[in-house]
């Protein structure tokens, strides 16, 4: 019957790309029968492109990152078949603030927000790309005032004019230029550049309204985000990551970094090797302490309890991490499984569950790109 369905829209494949400090992750999906379907995925370590070891964070020029992207897409096991993509940008490359504004029309806010945002952005507005969105307030009714109302009316703050929270995001033009250069050199067609936390949220969050913490453990650092109703209410970066675990193993056991990285991935912190577990905990205990401090600070400031901690990032795939995290946090703790948002082959279920935390950002970017193609 499909042969005669002349008006059916052809299936469009898209890719989501996560360029991390130690690896590139890529996921290709398509929409079929109303569902996002996994076509292929892959990961490539960046260490060797800087004469470093696998698992180490490196800083590469755009041309080398583009070369690595092309290498990954051309790998036989990955075999990417489209150049339509969405790309994530590191959280550290952005500035994010929630500001309070009068609840006027969207057109008026478009004039007012850039002016107000200058107070929160330490560089000239001309040097950044600015974006903003209204934060839903369940307890406040937001009304659009007549278009004839002067844009500065709300700045006098009369008590009868309700307020609205605005999430303001700024990305430096130099960062956008760098990623644009990578995209062009890799022969990609990027529909957007998105800050990684938004991709992550799309991939791992459900419809819960209560605050949750996302703990994103990368190679060089661990990022902590507390999210409520889809809005990042607090963030904190811990200068420890999975490469610090490898370094501790190397120093403690007198092993090369390459061997230490292999042992970390194969053995982990399951408790089967007590020495290995204790070495790994040297790094994890510091991260957990910082995370608990961030949790307590949020709960004290907002008088709300964080209902769940979600583990994502390459470091979150460490064996035994989930159990150690549960023992350290006084709240429900789960390892993210973003592949649940996709239709996947049954025989890959266990593998995708284990590697899922690493691909949260790439999956989230791919899901947005797929939605934009409809």
pTM above 0.85, yes or no: yes
**165 within 8 A of 134, measured Cβ to Cβ:** yes
Sequence-separated (6 or more) residues with CB below 8 Å from residue 78: 26, 40, 41, 42, 72
If you ran DSSP here, which 8-state letter would residue 10 be given?
P
pLDDT at position 137 is 61
pLDDT at position 160 is 59
Scan for tokens 């990152």, then name that residue: 65
pLDDT at position 10 is 57
pLDDT at position 81 is 94
Compute φ and ψ for 166, nearest 5 degrees. -120, 125
pLDDT at position 99 is 86
Helix (H, G, I), strand (E, B) or coil at 46: coil
Q: Which two tokens stand for residue 243?
A: 């490469």
pLDDT at position 121 is 85
Rounded to an integer, what distance in angstroms lies between the CA atom of residue 351 and that of residue 372?
29
The per-residue pLDDT string of the chain (374 residues; one tens digit each, 9 = 90 and over) reads: 333 444 445 568 999 999 999 999 999 999 998 899 999 999 999 999 999 999 999 999 999 999 999 999 999 899 999 999 999 999 888 888 888 889 888 888 889 998 898 888 888 888 898 888 887 765 433 344 344 444 444 444 445 578 888 888 899 999 999 999 999 999 999 999 999 999 999 999 987 789 999 999 999 999 999 999 888 888 999 999 999 999 999 999 999 999 999 999 999 999 889 999 999 999 999 999 999 999 999 999 999 999 999 999 999 999 999 999 999 998 899 999 999 999 999 999 999 999 999 999 999 999 999 999 87
Q: Which two tokens stand for residue 261?
A: 């990285």
Considering only CA atoms, which of 46, 53, 20, 25 is closest in space to residue 264? 53
35 beta partners: 32
pLDDT at position 335 is 94
Could you give all domains of the chain from N- to C-terminal order, each with its CATH number?
Answer: 11-91+174-373 (3.30.420.40), 92-173 (3.30.1490.300)
Q: Is 310 exposed, middle or buried (0-12, 13-18, 19+ CB in 10 A)?
A: buried
What is the DSSP secondary-structure string of 265-334?
Answer: HHHTTSSSSHHHHHHHHHHHHHHHHHHHHHHHHHHHHH-----EEEEESGGGGSTTHHHHHHHHSSSEEE
Q: Are strands 308-312 and 212-217 parallel, antiparallel or unpaired?
A: parallel
């Amino acid at each position: 019957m499909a042969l005669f369905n002349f008006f059916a829209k052809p299936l469009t494949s898209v890719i989501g790309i996560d360029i991390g400090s130690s690896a590139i992750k890529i996921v290709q999906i398509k929409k079929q029968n109303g569902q996002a379907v996994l076509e292929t995925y892959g990961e490539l370590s960046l260490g060797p492109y800087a004469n470093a070891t696998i698992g180490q964070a490196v800083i590469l020029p755009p041309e080398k990152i583009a070369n690595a992207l092309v290498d990954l897409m051309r790998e036989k096991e990955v075999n990417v078949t489209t150049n339509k993509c969405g790309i994530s940008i590191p959280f550290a490359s952005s500035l994010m603030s929630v500001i309070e504004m009068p609840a006027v029309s969207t057109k008026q806010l478009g004039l007012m927000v850039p002016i107000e945002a200058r107070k929160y952005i330490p560089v000239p507005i001309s040097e950044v790309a600015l974006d903003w969105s209204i934060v839903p307030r369940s307890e406040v009714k937001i009304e659009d005032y007549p278009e004839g109302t002067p844009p500065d009316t709300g700045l006098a703050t009369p008590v009868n004019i309700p307020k609205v929270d605005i999430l303001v995001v700024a990305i430096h033009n130099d960062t956008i230029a760098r990623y644009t250069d990578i995209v062009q050199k890799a022969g990609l067609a990027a529909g957007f550049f998105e800050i990684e936390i938004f991709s992550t949220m799309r991939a791992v969050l459900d419809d819960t309204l209560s605050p949750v913490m996302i703990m994103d453990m990368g190679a060089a650092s661990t990022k902590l985000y507390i999210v409520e109703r889809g809005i990042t209410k607090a963030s904190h970066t811990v200068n420890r990551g999975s490469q610090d675990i490898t370094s501790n193993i190397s120093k403690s056991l007198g092993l090369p970094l390459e061997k230490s990285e292999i042992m970390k991935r194969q053995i982990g912190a399951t408790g089967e090797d007590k020495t290995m577990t204790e070495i790994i905990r040297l790094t994890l205990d510091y991260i957990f302490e910082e995370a608990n401090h961030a949790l307590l600070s949020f709960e004290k400031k907002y008088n709300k309890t964080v209902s769940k901690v979600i583990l994502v990032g390459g470091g979150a795939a460490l064996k035994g991490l989930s159990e150690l995290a549960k023992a350290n946090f006084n709240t429900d703790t789960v390892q993210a499984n973003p592949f649940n948002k996709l239709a996947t082959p049954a025989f890959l279920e266990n593998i995708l569950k284990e590697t899922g935390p690493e691909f949260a950002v790439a999956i989230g970017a791919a899901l947005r790109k797929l939605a934009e193609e409809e």
